[in-house]
Structure 1
Amino acid sequence: MQNDNVTIYHNPACGTSRNTLAMILNAGIEPNVIEYLKNPPSRQELSSLIERAGLTARELLREKGTPYAELGLDDETLTDEQLVDAMMAHPILINRPLVVTSRGVKLCRPSEVVLDILPKPQIGAFAKEDGEAVIDSAGQRVK
């Protein structure tokens, strides 16, 4: 039997994060929701998430609506350690939503990426906040 433990590093102000959370709920899963701006991961947790998601620190960096430019984070000579330092100092730089399941860790952008790692299928139809259909009434992915 698969473990349904699902954790989402969530920002309720982000539409992609809200859509991802809604798809987790649509699978009948009550996830552990971590509002990472209020409760940022430790340095060790963040480094582990990056590694488990198969990302580089740069790939997890969020530019839009963050101090990315002011901090000079577009400097390609910065190391992963330096980029993680910036994310620890400014959690808004951590792109979201990150989802952790028994099937892996993914940065769920676009939100339907979460479907690849959920341990349970979708229960019914689902459309994103903008009305885009993602799951049909049979619980199958559209497209």
Structure 2
Amino acid sequence: MTTDIIIYHNPECGTSRNALAMIRNAGIEPHVVEYLKTPPARALLESLIARAGMTPRALLREKGTPFAELGLGNPELTDAQVIDAMMAHPILINRPLVISPLGVKLCRPSEAVLDLIPAAQQTAFAKEDGEQVIDAAGNRIAQ
């Protein structure tokens, strides 16, 4: 299936790998952007944040990043300052960020990506940790 889906992906992240696998489980090959190698331009990042209906701080990743060292927990920082930090240190951008014809969303937990996929899941799917997300009939399992 040809559908324009873009995933800002970190292959080292299990949540990101699971979201990518669910997109592929619907028969869609997304455009994969390894954002640590190819970070989005500032204007694009600002647009994606706005389209996702979130704040820059809501997209900010703390774990495994220089969040604390940079003092990013300071509530007095402006949105522009938070985005400045993300531009300087792309690891601060939380992932996976997915763009589809159905919207833009930070897909944490990974099954949030199912809301953005305009096609049915083709087979059963379990996340890397074994949690079953899609049953054999391609239906989402209620959690």
Please report the TM-score for the alignment, with normalisation by the length of structure 1.
0.97
- Give CA deviations for 1:44-87 in whole Å, capped at 9, x if unaligned: 01001100111100000000000000000000010101000000
- Give CA deviations for 1:82-123 in whole Å, capped at 9, x if unaligned: 000000000000000000000000000000000011111111
State yes or no: 1:16 paired with 2:15: yes
Identity of aligned residues (%): 70
Residue in 2 that maps onto 1:92: 91
SS in 2 for 1:115: helix
CA–CA distance in structure 1, aligned partners of residues 75 and 131 of structure 2: 36
Deviation at 1:11, TM superposition (A): 0.0
My pick for the range that moved more, 112-121 or 32-41, is 112-121
Q: For the aligned residues, what is the CA RMSD?
A: 0.7
Please report the TM-score for the alignment, with normalisation by the length of structure 2.
0.97
Q: Which amino acid aligns with 1:28?
A: G
Contiguous gaps of at least 5 residues in structure 1: none
Residue in 1 that maps onto 2:28: 29
Contiguous gaps of at least 5 residues in structure 2: none
SS in 2 for 1:23: helix
Deviation at 1:19, TM superposition (A): 0.2
CA–CA distance in structure 2, aligned partners of residues 37 and 117 of structure 1: 23
Q: Which amino acid aligns with 2:69?
A: E
